[in-house]
């Protein structure tokens, strides 16, 4: 089956690739196994050196890589440059701190001596999404290369040029062949690969359906898996919030990456004292966003990743309206020859609406007015997802108390859910399990081996 690289701003095919045949995939796995036998014995210093070289090349070629991201999935080019910068920071972070994270943990048993040693487990399969084609790879690859594992990457089929560029990046940095291997295959074939006895673990960032498929195969074959799935982050605005700052961050939280972000702010929940003011200002900001070519520095809202995605979210809006929701702004596809969707605001979204519990993966904000703080918390938790969320208040201790009651993997106070190298990333409920980034992210695919030294004594 062909794999198409299509520019979502124009819906024009840029390049066409062919999927790898089974024989080539089998050879890639075998090579990764062979490379692991050597890589697991390299020093932390050697592994860190490679990560720093990758980071340096990312920075040197930032503009070229950013334009490639924009070309294939429509991210604003300025944001694409930010993604490359963040990816470099992640590689440097694990190069700088990986050895300390993986040092032996000394235990103090009642008798004898003991320690826990962190050892690599082998070849890993990473199934990566299109919306952050470099960053998503960085947060999976950097810690696991530092651990001593090798990896096979099945990247999203709509960003094949990015996928190929990342593999070339590793080779240019001096990585041995087989340490990082890109597989041009379908999602179905990737799920089937989990059963291969040579693959020891799998990580996926993607949809609930894809996550369920991968988790089923991993469980069936007793393999560790890490899943980062969808999100429907609540953005709570309390009556003591700085409204102008909250509105500014609300726009960033919803429109970043053209709204195609798992941790985007999607449900805006304001207490009644300030709800009308917040809503009016938010809608005004949305209405005045500059829509256009994502390569243009003036553009504030670009296309979605492809026409199918734009059609899907437009259909979600139609179904929401049919279920009783009201369109306050936007609501339609834009006739600009690409995958454009109007910035949209929905109100009157009730639990009996057929899309109430769905994730809107695009520039659609759903607004709710609630009576008080407790109602805001209850509404935030009324979701099958549990990735992130945010609380806006000038009382930081209050914000912490509210955050403690929100059932998600991450909660930010006075900022939309965000990411950086030294903060753990992950969710709960339908948003998946496991953690990436920070110190926590390096321990997902390691063997925490106990080594016990017993006292010399008579066994009888």
Which tokens hold the place of 158?
A: 């709509």
Q: How far apart are CA 184 and CA 180, in angstroms?
A: 13
Q: Which of 262, 359, 436, 444 is catalytic?
A: 262
Q: How far apart are CA 258 and CA 338, in angstroms?
A: 14
Say what the alpha-carbon torsion angle 201, 205, 207, 211 is, to the nearest 10 degrees.
10
Q: CB of 279 within 8 A of CB of 329? A: no
Is 262 designated active site? yes
E strand or H helix at 167, and its extent? helix 160-172
Sign, CA torsion 75/77/81/84 = positive
Helix residue spans in 236-305 (DSSP H)? 243-255, 272-287
Which tokens hold the place of 319?
A: 């179904």
17 alpha-carbon distance from chain centroid: 25
Classified as helix, coil or strand, 225 is strand
Q: Which of 228, 260, 359, 444 is catalytic?
A: 228
Catalytic site residues?
228, 262
């Amino acid at each position: 089956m062909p794999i198409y690289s299509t520019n979502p701003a124009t819906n024009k095919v840029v390049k066409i690739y062919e999927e790898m045949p089974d024989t080539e995939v089998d050879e890639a796995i075998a090579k990764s196994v062979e490379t692991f036998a050597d890589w697991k014995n390299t020093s932390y210093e050697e592994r860190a050196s490679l990560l720093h070289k990758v980071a340096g090349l990312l920075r040197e070629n930032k503009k070229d890589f950013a334009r490639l991201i924009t070309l294939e999935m429509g991210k604003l080019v300025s944001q694409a440059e930010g993604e490359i910068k963040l990816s470099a920071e992640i590689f440097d972070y694990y190069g700088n701190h990986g050895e300390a994270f993986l040092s032996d943990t000394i235990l103090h048993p009642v008798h004898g001596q003991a320690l826990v040693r962190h050892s690599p487990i082998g070849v890993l399969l990473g199934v990566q999404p299109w919306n952050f084609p470099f960053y998503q790879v960085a947060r999976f690859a950097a810690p696991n290369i530092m651990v001593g594992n090798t990896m096979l990457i099945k990247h999203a089929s709509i960003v094949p040029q990015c996928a190929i560029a990342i593999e070339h990046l590793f080779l240019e940095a001096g990585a041995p062949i087989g340490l990082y291997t890109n597989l041009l295959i379908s999602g179905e074939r990737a799920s089937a690969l989990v059963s291969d006895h040579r693959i020891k673990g799998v990580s996926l960032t993607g949809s609930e359906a894809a996550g369920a498929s991968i988790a089923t195969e991993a469980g069936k074959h007793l393999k560790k898996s890490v899943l980062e799935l969808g999100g429907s982050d609540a953005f709570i605005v309390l009556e003591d919030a700085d409204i102008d700052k909250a509105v500014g961050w609300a726009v960033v939280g919803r429109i970043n990456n053209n709204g195609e972000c798992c941790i985007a702010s999607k449900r805006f929940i304001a207490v009644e004292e300030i709800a009308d003011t917040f809503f009016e200002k938010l809608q005004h900001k949305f209405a005045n966003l500059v829509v256009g070519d994502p390569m243009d520095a003036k553009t504030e809202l670009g296309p979605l990743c492809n026409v199918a995605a734009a059609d899907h979210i437009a259909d979600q809006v139609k179904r929401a309206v049919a279920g009783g929701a009201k369109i306050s702004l936007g609501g339609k596809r834009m006739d600009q020859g690409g995958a454009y969707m109007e910035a949209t605001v929905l109100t009157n979204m009730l639990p009996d609406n057929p899309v109430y519990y769905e994730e809107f993966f695009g520039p659609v904000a759903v607004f709710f007015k609630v009576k008080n703080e407790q109602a805001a918390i209850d509404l935030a938790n009324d979701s099958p997802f549990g990735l992130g969320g945010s609380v806006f208040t000038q009382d930081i201790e209050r914000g912490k108390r509210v955050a403690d009651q929100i059932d998600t993997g991450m909660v930010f106070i006075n900022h939309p859910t965000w990411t950086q190298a030294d903060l753990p990333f992950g969710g709960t409920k339908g948003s998946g399990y496991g953690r990436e980034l920070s110190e926590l992210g390096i321990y997902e695919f390691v063997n925490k081996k106990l080594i016990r030294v017993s006292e010399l004594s008579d066994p009888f």
